[in-house]
Amino acid sequence: MSIDTDTARKVAHLARIKVEEDELPALAGEFNAILGFIEQLQEVDVEGVEPMTSVTPQRLKRRDDVVTDGDQQDKVLANAPDAREGFFAVPKVVE
Amino acid sequence: MLDLTYDAPKPKTLSGATGDWELVIGMEVHAQVATKAKLFSGASTRFGAEPNSNVAFVDAGMPGMLPVINEGCIRQAVKTGLGLKAEINLFSAFDRKNYFYPDLPQGYQISQLYHPIVGEGEVLVELGDGTARNVRIERIHLEQDAGKSIHDMDPHMSFVDLNRTGVALMEIVSRPDIRGPEEAAAYIAKLRQIMRYLGTCDGNMQSGNLRADVNVSVCRPGDYERYMETQDFGHLGTRCEIKNMNSMRFIQQAIDYEARRQIALLEDGKEVVQETRLFDPDKGETRSMRSKEEAHDYRYFPDPDLLPLEIEQDWVDEIAANLPELPDEKKARFIKDFGLSDYDASVLTAEHENAAYFEAVADGRDGKLAANWVINELFGRLKKEDHDITESPVSPAQLGGIVELITKGDISGKIAKELFEIVYTEGGDPAQIVEERGMKQVTDTGAIEASVDEVIAANPAQVEKAQANPKLAGWFVGQVMKATGGKANPKAVNEIVSKKLGL
């Protein structure tokens, strides 16, 4: 698989990262280098090898169903560029 | 286990200009998991709190915050899976679904695309006319809910509340086995009923506890059978997905509109484009959500913050062993043990609180009579005042007392209704009320005879008429009932009147 500038532009847009038009070819080239490395990895025969999910043997940590957090409206809103009446206020988004 | 058997219903058919069309519907139901805390944070799930007060930094997507899964949510998902007779996957995993929206501060939703916690199951959906559809469940996965955006508080701004952000949802995905708008509504009602029995979802549609995305397509008669045989979707039409509906009525309207729209396109020689649509309840139509199309590139990948979720069979077995009796089993048992009709058994098992109430009334008493009184008198009376069973002023013991008095022949049906009204409004022990207020039915034939004699003696003209035309004997029965204040046993009065008049 090869990434062209159109794909690079689309990926940038999906990630909401602004990339100038003249930077796209270089970016596409970097993507291709990464994909090339992955293609190389795919040559390894992993038949019968279970995918590793953790380097140390551990189980997904769980919490009990108890309320231990929240009640911090001021802190949650502290970094918001705009907040009104306890809500985040953002430019209008309507479907 | 007892089995309920029904015939499959006929699919809904719409006739177009070029012949008949059938509907094919699959649903994705999002059910809010009933837990105290969220899926990956310790913030509360309580509905109706101050905006942004049930928010942990994890939910707000603050940098460096890590999700820790709530075991209660896992248990509820497993319980739901067992309730839908589904396969429980001991290994499941979480993935990130990436998209940007103001009410999703992480920039991705944590979901389970590749390895859901629950696999294939099935739901029996009764349609109330003696038919039922077996709807296959494809999977159930756990995922985070998004926050809430409010668009009507300011002309230029949208207001965002993250209280719902990160609350656990179960997405229940069906196969395209639903064949009409009524079936779709009945399917949701059945899921809701099962989850309420299990206590895994409150099922309150108004507050958004239960929402559905509906996939609709149309096909020609015979196509669906070919699909069922081969499981090849090529036999079915192109589908459209109508997003996020939380009203049974709107769901039915949307399906009906959408099917007609697709038929019109096809008959016009055009194609149905696979897309996401929104239902507009004011206009009663669906419209395309074009803006969503590009966002459909979700770039799923395994969430590196979460190890796979591994659960033990012993734990699943323990949950299975403690499962409550489910609606189908309860209904079958009511039909068998109490001799109830399918309809009465459905009404009584619709909510588990109703079923428990009925069982307490019927315990050691006449089940059919108990069902009659619970459904007709009690539910009727409660409905008049917009109360549900938990608000009933009449306890099962009190209603049971009334049923007993009827069975023993102590009171007539008519008096029983008066007694019910007294117990409903004033309270008290039914047997004691009957005793104190002299409401007991007179079955003493001597007393009834005396009363009949009196009426006959006082009305010689009526006696002659009745002897000429026996149909008029009813007049005497009426007079005796009046004279005894409705307490005489009507059957006994009938017999004595006929005998005394020599009919």
B102: pLDDT strictly greater than 70: yes
Q: Which residue of B has its CA nearest to A17?
A: B100
Mean pLDDT of all residues in B93-115: 94
Count Cβ atoms within 10 A of the Cβ of residue B38 and give its class: 0-12 exposed, 13-18 middle, 19 or more buried. Answer: buried
Q: Is the pLDDT of residue B376 over 50?
A: yes
Mean of pLDDT values over B333-360: 95
| Whole-angstrom distance, CA of residue B298 vs CA of residue B304 | 16
A92 vs B contacts (CB less than 8 Å): 151, 154-158
Asked if the structure places residue A13 within a domain, the reply is yes
On chain B, the residues whose CB falls within 8 A of the CB of A77 are: 52
- Residues of chain A in contact with residue B74, where contact means CB-CB under 8 angstroms, are 62
Contact indicator for A54, B307 with CB cutoff of 8 Å: yes
What pLDDT does A2 receive? 83
- Spatial neighbors of B231 by CB under 8 A, at least 6 apart, are none
Question: Is residue B451 over pLDDT 70?
Answer: yes
Considering only CA atoms, which of A17, A90, A81, A65 is closest in space to residue B147?
Answer: A90
What pLDDT, on a 0 to 100 scale, did the predictor assign at position A50? 85
Cβ-Cβ contacts under 8 Å, A66 against chain B: 36-37, 42
**Is a pLDDT exceeding 70 seen at residue B455?**
yes
Q: How far is A30 from chain B (nearest CA, A)?
A: 19
DSSP for A49-86, please give it: PPPP--SS-----EE-S---B---HHHHHTT-S-EETT
Domain boundaries, chain B: 22-297, 325-436, 445-501
pLDDT, tens only, B166-209: 999 999 999 999 999 999 999 999 999 999 999 999 999 988 89
Q: Any CB–CB contact under 8 A between A72 and chain B?
A: yes
pLDDT band at B1 (very low <50, low <70, confident <90, very high): very low
Angle at B227 between CA B184 and CA B216, to 5 degrees: 35
Domain B445-501 in this protein, CATH class = mainly alpha
- Beta carbons of A76 and B150 less than 8 Å apart: no
Structural domain harbouring A27 = 5-42
Residue B132 has pLDDT above 80, yes or no: yes
Q: What is the ipTM of this complex?
A: 0.90
CA distance B374 to B115: 46
Partners of residue A68 in chain B, C-beta under 8 Å: 37, 42
Nearest chain A CA: its distance from B131 CA (Å): 40
Average pLDDT (B411-417) is 86
Residue A60 lies in a domain: no
Rounded CA gap, B191 and B193, in Å?
Answer: 5
Instruction: Count CA atoms closer than 13 A to B118's CA, side-chain side.
Output: 30
List Cβ neighbours of B455 (8 Å cut-off, separation of 6 or more).
B476, B479, B480, B483
Q: Is residue A66 part of a domain?
A: no
Average of per-residue pLDDT across B50-74: 97
Predicted confidence at residue B342, as pLDDT, reads: 92
Average pLDDT over chain B, rounded to an integer: 92
**Looking at the predicted structure, is the pLDDT value of residue A4 above 60?**
yes
Selected residue of A6, A88, A92, A93 to mutate for chain B interface (largest B Cβ count, 10 A): A88
B69 vs A63: CB contact, 8 Å cut-off? yes
Q: How much is the average pLDDT of A1-16?
A: 89
SS3 assignment for B168-203? EEEEEEECCCECCHHHHHHHHHHHHHHHHHHCCCCC
Contacts of A17 in chain B (CB under 8 A): none
**Which one of A16, A52, A63 would you mutate to disrupt binding with B, by most B Cβ within 10 Å of its Cβ?**
A63
Q: Kindly state whether residue A15 falls inside one of the protein's structural domains.
A: yes
Q: Into how many domains does chain A fold?
A: 1
Overall residue count recorded for chain B in this entry: 503
What b/e sequence results for A79-91 when a residue is b if at least 16 CB atoms lie within 10 Å of its CB, and e otherwise?
eeeebeeebbbbe
Using a CB-CB distance cutoff of 8 angstroms, which residues of chain B are in contact with residue A57? none
CB of B131 closer than 8 Å to CB of B115 = no
Q: How many residues does chain A have?
A: 95
In which region does residue B12 sit, left (phi positive, over 0), alpha (psi from -120 to 50) or beta (all else)?
beta
A89 contact residues in B (CB cutoff 8 A): 154, 157-160
Q: Which residue has the tokens 């809904």?
A: B12
pLDDT of residue B290: 66
Looking at the complex, report in whole angstroms how far the Cα of residue A55 sits from the nearest Cα belonging to chain B: 11
CA B168/CA B284 separation, integer angstroms: 31
pLDDT value at residue B441: 75
pLDDT of residue A95: 55
* Residue pairs spanning A and B at CB distance below 8 A: 135
In this prediction, residue B485 carries a pLDDT of: 77
Distance of residue B203 Cα from the nearest chain A Cα, in angstroms: 20
Which helix (H) or strand (E) segment holds residue B133: the answer is strand B132-144
More confident residue, A70 or B415: A70
Q: B43-57, pLDDT tens digit by residue?
A: 999 999 999 999 999
Contact A69 B150 (CB under 8 A): no
Q: Which of A65, A89, A95 sits opposite B70 (nearest CB)?
A: A65
Inspect the interface and report whether the beta carbons of A59 and B310 lie closer than 8 Å: yes
Q: Residue B292: what pLDDT?
A: 55
Lowest mean pLDDT among B230-234, B344-348, B440-444: B440-444
- Name the more confident of A93 and B273: B273
For residue B387, pLDDT beyond 60: yes
Residue A62 in contact with partner chain B when CB distance is under 8 A:
yes
Per-residue pLDDT, B295: 54
Contact (CB<8Å) B74/A62: yes
Least confident of B174-183, B252-261, B316-325, B487-496: B487-496
Instruction: Please tell me if residue A76 touches chain B, with a CB cutoff of 8 Å.
Output: yes
What residues of chain A lie within 8 A of the CB of B160, using their CB? 87-90
**Residue of B36, B38, B153, B158 to mutate when probing chain A, most A C-beta within 10 A:** B158
Interface contact flag, A53 B307, Cβ < 8 Å: yes
Contact check, Cβ <8 Å, B157/A72: no
Task: Tell me what the mean pLDDT of segment B471-499 comes to.
Answer: 82
pLDDT, tens only, A43-94: 999 999 988 878 888 899 999 999 999 999 999 999 999 999 999 999 988 7
Average pLDDT over residues B82-96: 97
pTM of the shown model: 0.87
Note whether A18 contacts B: Cβ–Cβ < 8 A. no
